[in-house]
């Protein structure tokens, strides 16, 4: 059964950069155009100077870190409301606000129709995850690798960290117990049961490998899940700090103590 997102749901998704209006700019683009290698290369070439990136590899990494919020928007609606949005490239515009100081793109959905659970929720969930990962994220990461040669591991971990954040921090702290319980079920499936085939032509689940145990980091005085790869955001012009979960800085600090 198809419905549309209601006003309350749209307002909740805005916190994850869900756009409600079209914002034309030189860095706004229909997602389906980025599947073309020539167009993708040109887009990254224009994006690099805008974000202060020194090279295409760094630009690709930062692009995917921002793109990860599309997965957050999609998965939040699936777990919280049992609603699956149209995640096809043809339905989404990646937008950049003209006067934004930091590049935090938003996502405009041409159609806000959603598909609710029909029949088995487990089967519905598998289909939903395949549409997100296999038919969207996997394809884009493959194109980014072809164009920039940036490590696929870095790009997948850039997606994974925000999915972990969504389920461990946002949904796990919902005031609604039903949402909390379903979040645990969906997260467990995503980590431990979802086969590699749901993520594209992967022999194993590419998200699970990044779900390492949190450990206490002395200079942070807290437990964090240290990344296995570096996203290189500290290489952007004007950036002097590394992410607090960066493997480089955490390992260095550990040695100092």
pLDDT (tens digit, 0 to 9) for every residue of the chain, 257 residues total? 568 999 999 999 999 999 999 988 889 999 999 999 999 999 999 999 999 999 999 999 999 999 999 999 999 999 999 999 999 999 999 998 766 678 999 999 999 999 999 899 999 999 999 999 999 999 999 999 999 999 999 999 999 999 999 999 999 999 999 999 999 999 999 999 999 999 998 999 999 999 998 888 777 778 888 888 888 888 888 765 667 777 665 454 433 22
Determine contact, residues 198/126, Cβ cutoff 8 Å: yes
Residues 62/233, Cβ–Cβ less than 8 Å: yes
d(CA 197, CA 179): 27
Which residues contact residue 255 at a Cβ distance below 8 angstroms, ignoring those fewer than 6 apart? none
Distance CA 192, CA 199 (A): 13
Q: Say if residues 144 and 150 touch (Cβ distance below 8 Å).
A: yes
Q: What length does the chain have?
A: 257
Domains, the chain:
3-209 (1.10.510)
Separation of alpha carbons 69 and 166, rounded Å: 10
d(CA 126, CA 137): 15
Distance CA 194, CA 204 (A): 9
């Amino acid at each position: 059964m198809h419905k549309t997102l209601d006003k309350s749901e749209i307002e909740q998704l805005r916190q994850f950069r869900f756009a409600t209006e079209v914002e034309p700019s030189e860095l706004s683009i229909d997602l389906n155009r980025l599947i073309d290698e020539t167009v993708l290369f040109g887009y990254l070439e224009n994006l690099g100077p805008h974000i202060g990136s020194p090279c295409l590899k760094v630009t690709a990494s930062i692009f995917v870190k921002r793109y990860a919020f599309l997965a957050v928007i999609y998965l939040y609606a699936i777990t919280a409301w049992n609603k699956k949005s149209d995640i096809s490239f043809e339905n989404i515009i990646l937008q950049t606000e003209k006067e934004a100081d930091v590049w935090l793109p938003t996502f405009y959905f041409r159609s806000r129709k959603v598909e609710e659970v029909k029949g088995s929720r487990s089967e519905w969930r598998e289909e939903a995850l395949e549409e997100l990962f296999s038919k969207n994220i996997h394809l884009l990461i493959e194109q980014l690798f072809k164009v920039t040669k940036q490590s696929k591991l870095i790009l997948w971990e850039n997606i994974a960290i925000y999915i972990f954040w969504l389920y461990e921090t946002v949904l796990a702290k919902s005031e609604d117990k039903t949402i909390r319980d379903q979040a645990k079920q969906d997260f467990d499936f995503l980590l431990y049961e979802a086969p590699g085939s749901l993520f594209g032509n992967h022999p194993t689940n590419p998200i699970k490998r990044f779900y390492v145990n949190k450990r206490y980091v002395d200079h942070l005085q807290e437990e964090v899940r240290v990344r296995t790869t570096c996203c290189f955001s500290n290489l952007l012009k004007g950036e002097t700090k590394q992410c607090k979960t960066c493997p480089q800085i955490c390992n260095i600090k550990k040695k100092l103590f």
